[in-house]
Amino acid sequence: MTRTASIVGILFAFGFATAAYAASVSEGKALFLGEKYHCYTCHGKNGEGASGPGFQGVGKKYSQSEMMKLAAHRCPPTGACNPKELEAIVSFLRTI
Ligand code: HEC
């Protein structure tokens, strides 16, 4: 009984974590395409690359924290992106 309850609890918590993650990925996509940071102008609307590099497989190449640093390179003024927004953008880029 207790075991069943804890399994249900774990699945429930996992569901929440997944939903929160999915929300930050879609938020990150919107920010990537938004005019506040206009990342897409150099990296392509689907992250396919333009004057800047594309992001295919970038999630395998870098860790989340490495990407946070790389993604801050064009933040106006340098390094001044909202960290939560940057984290959401990186979560999105890692799905490309
Ligand atoms: C003005 C053009 C421009 C804009 C705007 C821009 N980037 Fe970049 N980005 C580049 C170029 C060029 C590079 C490669 C050389 C470098 O790091 O400067 C790069 C590199 C990167 C890399 C490293 C990719 C790799 O494989 O090494 C990441 C991650 C990145 N950009 C994320 C972002 C994010 C997120 C935004 C929006 C907040 C953004 N960039 C806005 C031009 C741009």
State whether the beta carbon of 89 lies less than 6 angstroms from ligand 1: yes
- Please report, as a single letter, which amino acid is at residue 1: M
Q: Is 45 exposed, middle or buried (0-12, 13-18, 19+ CB in 10 A)?
A: exposed
Per-residue pLDDT of the chain (96 residues; tens, 9 = 90+): 578 888 888 888 888 788 877 779 999 999 999 988 889 999 999 999 999 999 999 999 999 889 988 888 876 655 578 889 999 999 999 999
Nearest to 93 by CA among 42, 58, 51, 44: 58
Check residue 78 and give its pLDDT.
52
State whether the beta carbon of 45 lies less than 6 angstroms from ligand 1: no
Which atom of ligand 1 approaches the CA of 51 most closely? 12
How far apart are alpha carbons 69 and 81 in whole angstroms?
Answer: 11
Check residue 1 and give its pLDDT.
59
Check residue 76 and give its pLDDT.
62
- Please report, as a single letter, which amino acid is at residue 13: A
State whether the beta carbon of 42 lies less than 6 angstroms from ligand 1: yes
How far apart are alpha carbons 13 and 66 in whole angstroms?
Answer: 28
